[in-house]
Chain A
Amino acid sequence: MAHVILKDVNKIYDNNVQAVFDFNLEIQDHEFIVLVGPSGCGKSTTLRMIAGLEEITSGELFIDDKLCNDVQPKDRDIAMVFQSYALYPHMSVYDNMAFGLKIRKMPRLEIDKRVHETARILEIEQFLDRKPKALSGGQRQRVALGRAIVRNAKVFLMDEPLSNLDAKLRVQMRSEIIKLHENLHATTIYVTHDQTEAMTMATRIVVMKDGYIQQIGAPKEIYNRPANLFVAAFIGSPAMNLIDVKYEKGQVKLGDLSIALTPEHKELMKGYEGKEVVLGIRPEDIHMADGEHGKLYPQAIFGSEVDVAELLGHEFIIHTAVGGNQIVAKVPAVNDIRIHDKIQMVFNLKKTHFFDKETKKIIY
C-alpha cells in the first residue's frame, strides 16, 4: 500500500486550457480519498495524472517517496476501475481477472490462488466460468473490481465506478466497496460527482471546482464547517439554504426578521458592520418553534406559510419562505403539515454559518 503526494500540480492542455491549478494533496497509506465536484472540475484529470495517463504540466507526483512524473503507467503499480466496468467480452470471469497477471508473467499457480481468493472476497466464485454477457450490472462491476484487486497494486484508482448502476445497486455496491477497503486496507483514490458517495465512503474528501481545490477534510468537517459558499451548497442534500442578509449593530436583518447574534458570534462578525453577508443554514437546522430550539433562540423565530410539504415517511421536507427568500427545512413528521399551513419555525443559531459575500469564504 502507498503514500501519495501531489505537489503544486498543474495541467495545461495543448490548446492552453488549464484543467487543474496548483493541486496539493498528501494521501496517507490506507486512506480512502474521494475527489468530488461537478463535471469539468478537474477530478478525473487529476486521477489520470496520478495514473500516468495524462502528463503533469508542472508540479510533482510522488508514490512512496518516488518521483513518478516520468514513470510509465504500467510501472507505477496502480490499478484502475472505470465507470464502464470494462471486461473482455470473450473471456470468462476467471480469464478476465487473470489476464492482467498473465501479461505480467506471474506463475500460473500464483494467478490461480489470487483469482480464487479475490473471487471469494467479492462473492463471485460461482461466476468464474461465465462470460460477461451472462452477468448482471452489479456482478460485472464486482468482476471489474476483482481485476484491480488481484493485482495487489499499491494504489487503487476508481473513476466513477458506480455511475452506470441503478440507484438501489449503487447503494449496495457503495457499502461493498467500503467493506472491501476495510478488508484490504488499500490506498484508494475515488472520483465521483455524487456528494452522497463522497460523504459515505471517504476518510477524507477533496472538493473541487473549476480545477481548484475548494476544501480538503473529513466528511464531518466538510459538512459542518464548509470553507466557502460552493462547498456549503454542494455538500448536503437537501442543499444548505443560503440567504443574503445585512449585518448591523449585532443583528442580521432578514426582511422583517432581525436576529440578534450571541456575543461570541458578534466578535467573529467584526469588520462586517453595515455589510451584506450570506447566512447559511442546513434544512435540518431549521426547527418547529414549539420545540426546545424555540426556547433557546426566541430571537430567531419566524412565521411562514408552507408552499410545499414533502412527506418522506419519518420527516417532512418543507418549502417555505422567510423575508422573501425561499428556504427548505427538514422536520420530524410528528404532526401533519400541509400546503398553505401557517407555521412558526426557528433557526438553530448554533449551527448557523455566515459567508463573506465578496470572497465567498466562511466567516464562521
Chain B
Amino acid sequence: MIKYYHFLCDSPLNQTTFNEVLKSSYHGDLDVFMLDAYQGYCVAGPDFVDTLEGVLPLLVNDLGISITFLVSHNNSNLSHLALTKANKEQCTHLSDIVLECIVNHDYTFVPEMKKEFEHISHEIMMTAEMFVKCGMNASLAARKLYVHRNTFTYRLLKFINQTNLDIRDYYNAQYFTYCIKLI
C-alpha cells in the first residue's frame, strides 16, 4: 500500500536539500513531486509517517522553514483542501482533518468527498461499508452479505483499486467511515 504525503511550506523550498533530507532519513522507496516552490507531495509506504514525525523538527531547524504534512490515500482536490487546514509542523492524517471539520460544522469538503465514490457501483460500496461496519473483519462481513469469502475479497479489492482507498488501513477505514455518514 502506498500513501501520499502532501506538504505545504510557508517559504520557498530548496528542492535538492529537501529531497536529500527525506531520502537519507527513510530506508524505503520514496518519490518527491513538487507542484510549485511551496508545495508538493511524496509517495511512500505507510511507515514513512514515522520518519516524517522524527524529521520534521530537523527540517524546521536546518532549512529554516515551517512545513505542514498531510497523509492521504490520493492526490485529490480534497487532499489539497485538507492540507490548508492541517496543523503547522505536524504530520496529520486526512481522517483527523475531516473529523475536525465535522466538529466545527465545516462541510465544505463534502462535494469533493462525494466525487471520490460517484463511479463506484452500489454492490461494491455495500461491500466496503459492511467491511468497516464489521470492524474490518472480512469473514464476518462476508457472512453478513451472504457471499463467499472469496467473492467478498474480490469485491473489496475492486473497491480498493477503483478508489485507491485501502480500507484495510486504520486511517483509511476511519476516513471511509466519515464518508459513509456524510455523503
- Chain A residues within 8 Å of B, Cβ to Cβ: 52-54, 72-76, 79-80, 82, 84, 86-91, 99-100, 103, 147-148
Residue B66 at the chain A interface, CB threshold 8 Å: yes
Which residues of the other chain, B, contact A100 by a CB distance below 8 angstroms?
A: 61-62
Q: Decide: A86 near B55, CB < 8 A? Known: A53-B88, A53-B89, A72-B11.
A: yes
Q: Are A88 and B63 in contact (CB under 8 A)?
A: no
Contact of B57 among A52, A54, A82, A89 (CB under 8 A): A82
Which B residue sits closest to A86, measured CB to CB? Answer: B57
Which B residue sits closest to A159, measured CB to CB? Answer: B57
CB within 8 Å of A: which B40-94 residues: 51, 54-58, 60-66, 88-89
Which residues of the other chain, B, contact A86 by a CB distance below 8 angstroms?
A: 54-58, 61
Which residues of the other chain, B, contact A54 by a CB distance below 8 angstroms?
A: 66
CB within 8 Å of A: which B158-175 residues: none
Give the docked Cα–Cα distance between A346 and B21 (Å). Answer: 63
Q: Decide: A88 near B14, CB < 8 A? Known: A99-B62, A147-B61.
A: no
Distance in Å: Cβ of A256 to nearest Cβ of chain B: 54
Give the docked Cα–Cα distance between A358 and B63 (Å). Answer: 49
Which residues of the other chain, A, contact B58 by a CB distance below 8 angstroms?
A: 86-88
Q: Are B51 and A80 in contact (CB under 8 A)?
A: no
Give the docked Cα–Cα distance between A52 and B88 (Å). Answer: 13
Q: Is the interface of B mostly helix, strand, loop or mixed?
A: helix
Count of residues in B whose CB is under 8 Å from the partner chain: 23
Residue B27 at the chain A interface, CB threshold 8 Å: yes
A-B contact pairs, 8 of them (CB 8 A): A73-B65, A74-B65, A80-B60, A88-B58, A89-B54, A90-B24, A90-B27, A99-B21
Q: Decide: A52 near B64, CB < 8 A? Known: A72-B11, A84-B57.
A: yes
Q: Are A88 and B89 in contact (CB under 8 A)?
A: no
Which residues of the other chain, B, contact A73 by a CB distance below 8 angstroms?
A: 11, 60, 64-66
Q: Is the interface of A mostly helix, strand, loop or mixed?
A: loop
Give the docked Cα–Cα distance between A54 and B65 (Å). Answer: 11
Which residues of the other chain, A, contact B17 by a CB distance below 8 angstroms?
A: 103
Which residues of the other chain, B, contact A72 by a CB distance below 8 angstroms?
A: 11, 64
Among A74, A75, A76, residue most surrounded by chain B Cβ atoms (within 10 Å): A74
Distance in Å: Cβ of A178 to nearest Cβ of chain B: 22
Q: Are A103 and B62 in contact (CB under 8 A)?
A: yes
Distance in Å: Cβ of A19 to nearest Cβ of chain B: 13
Distance in Å: Cβ of B62 to nearest Cβ of chain A: 5
- Chain B residues within 8 Å of A, Cβ to Cβ: 11, 14, 17, 21, 24-27, 51, 54-58, 60-66, 88-89
Which residues of the other chain, B, contact A84 by a CB distance below 8 angstroms?
A: 54, 57
Give the docked Cα–Cα distance between A135 and B46 (Å). Answer: 26
Q: Are A74 and B64 in contact (CB under 8 A)?
A: yes
Which residues of the other chain, B, contact A147 by a CB distance below 8 angstroms?
A: 61
Give the docked Cα–Cα distance between A91 and B21 (Å). Answer: 10
Which A residue sits closest to B50, measured CB to CB? Answer: A89
Give the docked Cα–Cα distance between A122 and B159 (Å). Answer: 56
Give the docked Cα–Cα distance between A100 and B21 (Å). Answer: 11
Q: Are A53 and B60 in contact (CB under 8 A)?
A: yes
Which residues of the other chain, B, contact A103 by a CB distance below 8 angstroms?
A: 14, 17, 62-63
Which residues of the other chain, A, contact B57 by a CB distance below 8 angstroms?
A: 80, 82, 84, 86
Give the docked Cα–Cα distance between A87 and B59 (Å). Answer: 10
Which B residue sits closest to A15, measured CB to CB? Answer: B104
Q: Decide: A89 near B51, CB < 8 A? Known: A53-B89, A73-B66, A103-B17.
A: yes
Which residues of the other chain, A, contact B14 by a CB distance below 8 angstroms?
A: 103
Distance in Å: Cβ of B83 to nearest Cβ of chain A: 15
Which residues of the other chain, B, contact A79 by a CB distance below 8 angstroms?
A: 61
The 8 closest A-B pairs by CB, nearest first: A74-B64, A86-B57, A73-B64, A82-B57, A100-B62, A53-B66, A103-B17, A86-B58
Which residues of the other chain, B, contact A76 by a CB distance below 8 angstroms?
A: 64
Which residues of the other chain, B, contact A74 by a CB distance below 8 angstroms?
A: 11, 63-65
Which A residue sits closest to B12, measured CB to CB? Answer: A72
Q: Are B24 and A88 in contact (CB under 8 A)?
A: yes
Give the docked Cα–Cα distance between A74 and B57 (Å). Answer: 14
Give the docked Cα–Cα distance between A99 and B89 (Å). Answer: 20
Give the docked Cα–Cα distance between A112 and B54 (Å). Answer: 25
Give the docked Cα–Cα distance between A26 and B56 (Å). Answer: 30
Give the docked Cα–Cα distance between A54 and B10 (Å). Answer: 10
Which residues of the other chain, B, contact A89 by a CB distance below 8 angstroms?
A: 25, 51, 54
Which residues of the other chain, A, contact B27 by a CB distance below 8 angstroms?
A: 90
Give the docked Cα–Cα distance between A87 and B54 (Å). Answer: 7
Q: Are A88 and B25 in contact (CB under 8 A)?
A: yes
Q: Are A88 and B65 in contact (CB under 8 A)?
A: no
Distance in Å: Cβ of A85 to nearest Cβ of chain B: 9
Among B26, B62, B66, residue most surrounded by chain A Cβ atoms (within 10 Å): B62
Which residues of the other chain, B, contact A52 by a CB distance below 8 angstroms?
A: 64, 66
Among A54, A76, A88, A148, residue most surrounded by chain B Cβ atoms (within 10 Å): A88
Which A residue sits closest to B18, measured CB to CB? Answer: A103
